[in-house]
Structure 1
Amino acid sequence: MEQPAIHRWIKTECGRAKYAELAARPGPLARLRLGWFVLIAALRDWPLSNHPGGSES
């Protein structure tokens, strides 16, 4: 099963869960908050590995 492209940028399970929650909300303010979340989460997760769970083992 192929992972969504956003998983390349948001690597933690809790971040992915929060992304799914925010992406389900309607409205322009919700879209703005989602964009802000993706930006901050991608910056925080940048040094982590791309393996599931963020570990290399």
Structure 2
Amino acid sequence: MNNQERDQPPIFRWIKTECGRAKYADLSNRSGFTAKARLGWFVVIAAARDWRLPNPDQSSES
């Protein structure tokens, strides 16, 4: 595991697109109940949409 992977939130295992990760970062910095509810809803939808995509953080080399 490299430094970049260690610095990222564990949720990035399920949110794989660059725009999804940017939106997650934006929503996670907001406070309040409605903001946290929206973040939870976003994570569920984003993870479901990105489920089949390859993880960009894992190298294809073994």
TM-score for both structures, normalised by structure 2? 0.79
Moved over 4 A (4+): none
In the TM superposition, what is the alpha-carbon distance from 1:23 to its structure 2 partner?
0.3
Over the aligned positions, Cα root-mean-square deviation in angstroms equals 1.2
- What residue identity is the alignment partner of 2:15? I
Structure with the bigger RCO (C-alpha within 8 Å, sep 6+) is 1
Structure 2 residue 1 is matched with structure 1 residue 33: no
Out of 35, 48, 55, the residue aligned to residue 50 of structure 1 is 55
In the TM superposition, what is the alpha-carbon distance from 1:4 to its structure 2 partner?
1.9
What residue ranges of structure 2 are gaps of 5+ in the alignment? none
Q: Which residue of 2 aligns with 1:20?
A: 25
What residue ranges of structure 1 are gaps of 5+ in the alignment? none
Q: How many percent of aligned residue pairs carry the same amino acid?
A: 64
Instruction: State how many pairs are aligned.
Output: 53
